[in-house]
Amino acid sequence: MKLGRLNHIGVATPSIADSIAFYRDVMGATSITEPFDLEEQGVKVCFVDTPGADGAMNGTQIELIEPLGENSTLAGFIAKNPLGGQHHLCFEVPDIAEARSEFEALGKRILGPTRIGAHGTPIFFVHPKDMGGMLTEIMETPKEGTHWSN
């Protein structure tokens, strides 16, 4: 396993609208995608773009995630953390199937099947107890031109 690019930091929020206002008005974000529902995961998502080292808006994104209802997998997190907070880190890998096999061979607990994530690429999550206390999303590197959602 080779550590890939930090694609995004997932931030759970009880209100995407309030979080967008915070990142825009307090943090000065100028590029925020329109929120969209990921019904199969029970969440509403949008991305806050951050500048990269070259000043272009190609840095690590902040993924804002709001539960779509009480049955959302995120609802429990918000119940324990009513203000929201850091939920997960997401790292890119070149081949999702190979990465999954490597994590399984290391005895890491993978949460659920590989599925399509918010960037339209295959993802899976690794249990925080196997990842230094942090829920970790592993994501296949998006193909050219598909990384940025805006």
**How confident is the model over 64-89, as pLDDT tens digits?**
999 999 899 899 999 999 999 999 99
- Spacing of C-alpha 43 from chain mean position: 11
> What are the catalytic residues?
137
Tell me the pLDDT tens digit for each residue of 20-32.
999 999 999 999 9
Residue 124's H or E segment, with its range, is strand 122-126
CA neighbor of 107 nearest in space, from 77, 131, 71, 82: 131
**Domains of the chain, CATH where assigned:** 5-140 (3.10.180.10)
CA distance 9 to 54: 20
Task: List residues bridging with 10 in a β-sheet.
Answer: 63, 88
Amino acid at 82: P
What's the pTM value of the predicted model, to 2 decimals?
0.90
